[in-house]
Structure 1
């Protein structure tokens, strides 16, 4: 009987955690879409495809999926020099956008969950604050 009760409580708490995180992620993605539209769309375009040989794509981006920390820092501090995205080398400058850490969380959640990307886990304010000390 104790096993059944413990199992039930474990299942309920697990479901609650995932439902709450799912709602938070959806809200973050929605805010991130607005930030993307205001700050990122002119270079990376509405579809996240970027501009060939100039601005790297965010859509289906192996760089974003494999370089989460560097991507977060790039949004905060800008990006200079070479980086390879989907087998293509880009060498350009992205200036710092002046975003607050909360805005970085939201835009990263939007980008990591759009255009064929699927973020393994939600970007959180704790993660961003720790990276950007």
Structure 2
């Protein structure tokens, strides 16, 4: 392979990765927009508009180690709810959260994409197929 062919191939690979990244970024923004509405309708009363929660009562989602450590666990918490002790950012929380199993796989993915990419969190995109696998 001569230098010109190699350079052309390298440029094509770069363009392909750039297009894929732009598509994923656009997909994430769209998902987060939908997730923000779902969050406002179902989560904001406990976790607050800033995702800070209420110390001692409702754990924070903002900069949350618990949320960001395990995507599968986060999916289960949204679908099935949670009870008992939950340690978030070094603070123990005791209580319960209702499950939202009436949300579609897409809605669960969207709200997770919103909370996992807001308030100082930075996470990979969650796809509805991933939610579907966990739900089964």
- Structure 1, unaligned runs of 5 or more: none
Match of residue 121 from structure 2? 117
- Which structure would you say has the larger Rg? 2
The SS at the match of 1:51 is coil
Match of residue 46 from structure 2? 43
| Offset, 1:96 | 1.0
Q: What's the Cα RMSD here?
A: 0.9
Aligned equivalents of 1:10, 1:103: Cα separation in 2: 33
| Offset, 1:85 | 0.1
The 5 A counterparts of 1:1-133 are: 1-97=4-100, 98-119=102-123, 121-133=124-136
Deviations 1:60-110 (A, max 9, x none): 101111122111110011111111000001111111122111100000000
TM-score, length basis structure 2: 0.93
Aligned equivalents of 1:130, 1:19: Cα separation in 2: 26
TM-score, length basis structure 1: 0.95
After the TM superposition, list the runs of 4 or more consecutive aligned residues in structure 1 that deviate by more than 2 angstroms: none
